[in-house]
Structure 1
């Protein structure tokens, strides 16, 4: 017996709830849309929904969807497995070298930014401390404002 108040189908009330959900807060609208599309597969109860999610996870794992792991199952051919391991180690070493180069380049850019900032600050201080063109010197060495 399915005792859900709102059935997971394209009905005027579910469409209105979906639109309202998108207007109020877009993830709410997405949740209603997901319920409309996949709610009947989940069966309407938490246990059935958990079972459906577990089946989907198992399906994706069986298709090898997801991150690849280097400890993949043996192919049964020792020579190929050895070759694959050597190549994966070589790729890991290349990846490590690229990461070190990236970090060195980022440090170089940071140093360039610091040098540019220092140069701009020094120029600001020189300009700030330089005598202004509207200032004149007295005979006694004191400064006098020109009008």
Structure 2
């Protein structure tokens, strides 16, 4: 088998394609097996095994520009939105966002106080149950 592979490699990709076509003509699973082997081994040179392929190179610049735009928008997202062009609306939006941020801080503080109260209540209940339970040596007679 390795001698057949070596011979086909010596003739190059056209020999592999011819073997695949003949395999499909003779018995289709043979052709499919050859095609799978060619793709898996990298003999088709389709870019899977050699870093960036032809299609990746074609769209790499577009992808990089789109990625940088998204990253820039994500950086600007935390700083606030861009101006809408209407000063009154921008002022209203900024005031509303500040009010919502303040309400969020108050709500988070409220939740923290609730958690602390619940923790204290559970701890107090544990301590009272511990105090009320008899000591292990009190009920024992010697």
**TM-score between both structures, scaled by the size of structure 1:** 0.49
Confirm or deny: 8 A CA contact 1:70 1:88 kept in the other structure.
Answer: no
Larger proportion of strand: 1
Distance 1:112 1:53, change over 3 A: farther
Q: Distance in 2 between matches of 1:117 and 1:53?
A: 59
Q: Measure the CA separation in 2 of the matches of 1:115 and 1:13.
A: 68
Q: 5+ unaligned residues in a row in structure 1: which ranges?
A: 1-9, 15-34, 44-48, 136-144
Find the partner of 1:97 among 77, 86, 106.
106
* Alignment partner, residue 128 of structure 1: 136
| Alignment equivalent of 1:116, drawn from 97, 105, 125 | 125
Partner of 1:55: 65
Contact 1:74 1:81 survives alignment (8 Å): yes
Q: TM-score scaled by structure 2? A: 0.51
Question: Per chain length, whose mean CA-contact separation is higher, i.e. which structure has more relative contact order (CA < 8 Å, sep 6+)?
Answer: 1
Find the partner of 1:12 among 28, 40, 61. Answer: 40
Change over 3 Å in CA distance of 1:13–1:81 after alignment to 2 = same
Unaligned runs of 5+ in 2: 1-37, 43-47
CA distance in 2, matches of 1:67, 1:59: 11
SS in 1 for 2:81: coil
Secondary structure at the residue paired with 1:105? helix
> Over aligned residues, Cα RMSD in angstroms?
3.6
Structure number with higher helix proportion: 2
